[in-house]
């Protein structure tokens, strides 16, 4: 039986990478895989287990069909490697760090995907982005503006979303994510 795509989305700074890292062991124990993204962010700044490539290299990979999903946001290119399709076909569930902006395309390609939206209070989000210190202040403000635009519009577009609040302790968020995945698998 084919596996299911678990599409984790939410504002930059909401904790997607941190949650994915924490989920690595329990997901592996469930026979689920986590995709490694390809990003045109410098290797020093990436802060996640992503493959850093130049924009030229990314576009060449895209032209060669290297990505199952790819998008452009925050001045960067992001790609999810094509190998996830083989994993899904082999029956593995696959967790990916996705984009809200690319959600309609992801839903069209993976109609049964489970979309999990990580939410955080806007004030907490600002604090976390500043504390992470990866982007300069202006880029952080751009991310917060992008988030404010998404907050209302995009939920209406896809009612099949699981909202997961990460304003509190990470372990609590992780426990709820695993619960949600286990429930979705039981119903598949
Ligand atoms: N539940 C949490 N409580 C406190 N800090 C958190 C929590 N989740 C994530 N963080 C912190 O918030 C910052 C942004 O998290 P990150 O995983 O980089 O977000 P994203 O991948 O969504 O951009 C990081 O510094 C991370 O350590
Ligand atoms: O359409 P959106 O939902 O706004 O998402 C756009 C991109 O922004 C986030 O990445 P970012 O560069 O912030 O990296 P991060 O996830 O490591 O913060 C997210 O992971 C997407 O790749």
- Complex ipTM > 0.90: yes
Question: CA torsion angle for 103, 108, 109, 114 (degrees, to 10)?
Answer: 60
Distance 72 CA to ligand 2 centre (A): 9
Tens-digit pLDDT profile for residues 53-89 = 999 999 999 999 999 999 999 899 999 999 999 999 9
Distance 39 CA to ligand 1 centre (A): 19
CA–CA distance, 104 with 112 (Å, rounded to integer)? 13
Is the CB of residue 46 below 6 angstroms from any atom belonging to ligand 2? no
Q: List the domains of the chain with CATH numbers.
A: 5-35+92-187 (3.40.50.300)
CA angle 7, 10, 13 (to 5 degrees): 130
Predicted confidence at residue 141, as pLDDT, reads 92
Write the CB contacts of 147 (distance below 8 Å, at least 6 apart in sequence): 11, 12, 122, 125
**Looking at 10-66, which runs of residues are DSSP E strands?**
33-34, 38-39, 51-52
Of 27, 180, 161, nearest in space to 103 by CA: 161
Predicted confidence at residue 41, as pLDDT, reads 84
Please check if 14 is assigned to a binding site: yes
Is the CB of residue 93 below 6 angstroms from any atom belonging to ligand 2? no
Residue segments in the chain with a per-residue pLDDT below the cut of 70: 1, 43-48, 151-159, 188
């Amino acid at each position: 039986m084919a596996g299911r795509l678990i599409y984790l989305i939410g504002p930059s700074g909401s904790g997607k990478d941190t949650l994915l890292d924490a989920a690595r062991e329990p997901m592996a124990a469930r026979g689920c895989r986590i995709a490694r993204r390809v990003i045109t962010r410098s290797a020093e700044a990436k802060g996640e287990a992503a493959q850093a490539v130049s924009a030229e290299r990314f576009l060449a990979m895209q032209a060669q069909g290297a990505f199952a999903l790819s998008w452009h946001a925050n001045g960067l290119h992001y790609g999810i490697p094509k190998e996830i399709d083989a994993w899904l076909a082999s029956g593995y569930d696959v967790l990916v760090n996705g984009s809200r902006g690319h959600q309609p395309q992801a839903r069209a390609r993976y109609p049964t995907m489970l979309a999990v939206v990580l939410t955080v209070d806007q004030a907490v989000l600002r604090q976390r982005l500043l504390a992470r210190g990866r982007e300069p202040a202006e880029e952080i403000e751009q991310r917060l503006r992008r988030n404010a635009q998404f907050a209302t519009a995009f939920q209406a577009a896809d009612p099949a979303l699981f909202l997961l609040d990460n304003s509190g302790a990470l372990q609590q968020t992780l426990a709820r994510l695993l619960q949600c995945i286990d429930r979705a698998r039981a119903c598949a």
